[in-house]
């Protein structure tokens, strides 16, 4: 190799340039270098061997290589309008990432996900687990067994009303979460999650969040537990943690009961209290998000300093 022969006599940053010039037999450049006779013989042998392989002189070999490189770059950059054909993915992108159609399509898709996981299929499964499985079957079976064993009433109440009902109230979310992750998995596999993240990333980037953070927050308006579980689709650990903290501010169905209780007890004559509390809960995540963004910016500045 020519570069190995001149490595000690030329600057490291210009090693490749000098090697090419010597390969071209540039007399002006070769005259500026102090090479031993052995180094000159090795360089000449390398050039002669290359000329025999390519059946051409050295300077023509370099010129042809340069034109081949230019042709490859042009083929990668230039597209003939007559030969250009849009793929199926490109056609989908023109629709789902359109400036005007992206958000309405996203609202419809999220409505379908919300409808399936929270309102219909997921809720039917949750109601069956809460009302039938852990509401009748398991408590009745446990009560009969404990009665047959002559267990004390306080211990029977602890097992049936405490342990079984407590576990049932937690497992009651399982059908909703399963349906939610099924829908999110379908959207992830078909590529829609990446597209909507691109659309929403501009808005959520102002709060130092990913575009995927919008989906957990939207789902959290129906139920906070599936909303927090939906953050598993966010790859960045920092964005996932911030989304989990901010998702808890969204008012879900469980919080509506508390809002109705407080407003009906303390403000029975003011009908605007409950709706105001609901929408204030939706907007409340803005202030922690802005605070977290400012803190992250301060951390970055301190690290730079």
CATH code of residue 14: 1.10.287.1770
Under the banding of pLDDT at 50, 70 and 90, the label for residue 287 is low
Same domain, yes or no: 128 and 221: yes
Q: How far is it, in rounded angstroms, from Cα 188 to Cα 5?
A: 55
What is the distance in angstroms between the CA of the first residue and the CA of the last residue of the chain?
46
Backbone phi, psi, residue 112, to 5°:
-65, -45
> Does some domain include residue 295?
no
Same domain, yes or no: 66 and 183: no
| Per-residue pLDDT, 295 | 55
Under the banding of pLDDT at 50, 70 and 90, the label for residue 140 is very high
Same domain, yes or no: 50 and 113: no
| Per-residue pLDDT, 264 | 81
> Does some domain include residue 204?
yes
> Does some domain include residue 215?
yes
Q: How far is it, in rounded angstroms, from Cα 271 to Cα 273?
A: 6
> Does some domain include residue 161?
yes
Residue predicted with more confidence, 3 or 209:
3
Centre a 10 Å sphere on the Cβ of residue 10 and count the other Cβ atoms it contains: 18
| Pair of tokens at residue 201 | 């990333």
Same domain, yes or no: 153 and 72: no
* Angle, alpha carbons 41-47-53 (nearest 5°): 135
Residue predicted with more confidence, 39 or 202:
39
Note the pTM of the prediction, 2 decimals.
Answer: 0.55
Q: 247, 263, 290 — which closes off a domain?
A: 247
Same domain, yes or no: 50 and 134: no
Spatial contact of 134 and 163, defined as CB atoms under 8 Å apart: no
Same domain, yes or no: 60 and 125: no
> Does some domain include residue 254?
no
> Residue 290: pLDDT above 80?
no
Same domain, yes or no: 239 and 112: yes
Q: How far is it, in rounded angstroms, from Cα 215 to Cα 243?
A: 10
155: left (phi over 0), alpha (psi -120 to 50) or beta: alpha
Same domain, yes or no: 169 and 43: no
Q: What range defines the domain where residue 22 resides?
A: 2-77
Identify the residue whose tokens are 């301060």: 298
Same domain, yes or no: 178 and 226: yes
Cβ burial, residue 28 (10 Å; 0-12/13-18/19+): exposed
> Does some domain include residue 21?
yes
> Does some domain include residue 271?
no
Same domain, yes or no: 19 and 113: no
What is the sign, positive or negative, of the torsion defined by CA atoms of 23, 28, 31, 32?
Answer: negative
Under the banding of pLDDT at 50, 70 and 90, the label for residue 141 is very high
| Per-residue pLDDT, 298 | 45
| Per-residue pLDDT, 137 | 92
| Per-residue pLDDT, 291 | 58
| Pair of tokens at residue 106 | 């996203």
> Does some domain include residue 297?
no
**pLDDT above 90 covers what percent of the chain?**
6
Same domain, yes or no: 114 and 66: no
Domain count for the chain = 2
| Per-residue pLDDT, 299 | 43
Same domain, yes or no: 154 and 205: yes
**pLDDT for 80-139, tens place per residue?**
666 567 778 888 888 888 888 888 898 888 888 878 887 788 888 888 988 899 889 999
């Amino acid at each position: 190799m020519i570069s190995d022969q001149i490595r000690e006599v030329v600057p490291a940053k210009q090693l490749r340039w000098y090697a090419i010039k010597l390969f071209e037999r540039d007399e002006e450049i070769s005259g500026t270098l102090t090479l031993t006779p052995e180094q000159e013989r090795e360089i000449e042998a390398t050039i002669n061997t290359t000329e025999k392989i390519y059946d051409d002189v050295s300077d023509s070999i370099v010129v042809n290589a340069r034109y081949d490189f230019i042709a490859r770059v042009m083929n990668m950059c230039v597209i003939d309008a007559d030969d250009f054909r849009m793929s199926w993915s490109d056609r989908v992108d023109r629709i789902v990432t359109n400036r005007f159609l992206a958000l309405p399509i996203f609202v419809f898709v999220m409505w379908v996900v919300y409808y399936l996981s929270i309102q219909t299929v997921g809720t039917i499964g949750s109601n069956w687990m809460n009302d039938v499985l852990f509401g009748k079957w398991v408590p009745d079976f446990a009560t009969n067994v404990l009665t047959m064993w002559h267990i004390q009433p306080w211990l029977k109440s602890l097992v049936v009303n405490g342990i079984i009902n407590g576990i049932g109230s937690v497992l009651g979310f399982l059908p909703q979460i399963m349906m939610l992750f099924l829908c999110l998995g379908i959207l992830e596999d078909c590529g829609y999650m990446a597209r909507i993240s691109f659309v929403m990333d501009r808005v959520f980037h102002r709060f130092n969040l990913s575009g995927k953070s919008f989906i957990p927050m939207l789902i959290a308006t129906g139920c906070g537990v599936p909303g927090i579980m939906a953050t598993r689709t966010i790859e960045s650990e920092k964005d996932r943690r911030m989304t989990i903290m901010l998702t808890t501010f969204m008012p879900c169905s469980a919080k509506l009961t508390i809002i109705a209780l407080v407003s009906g007890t303390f403000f029975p004559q003011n009908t605007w209290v409950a709706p105001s509390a609901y929408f204030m809960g939706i907007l409340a995540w803005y202030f922690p998000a802005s605070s977290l963004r400012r803190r992250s910016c301060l951390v970055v500045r301190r690290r730079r300093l």
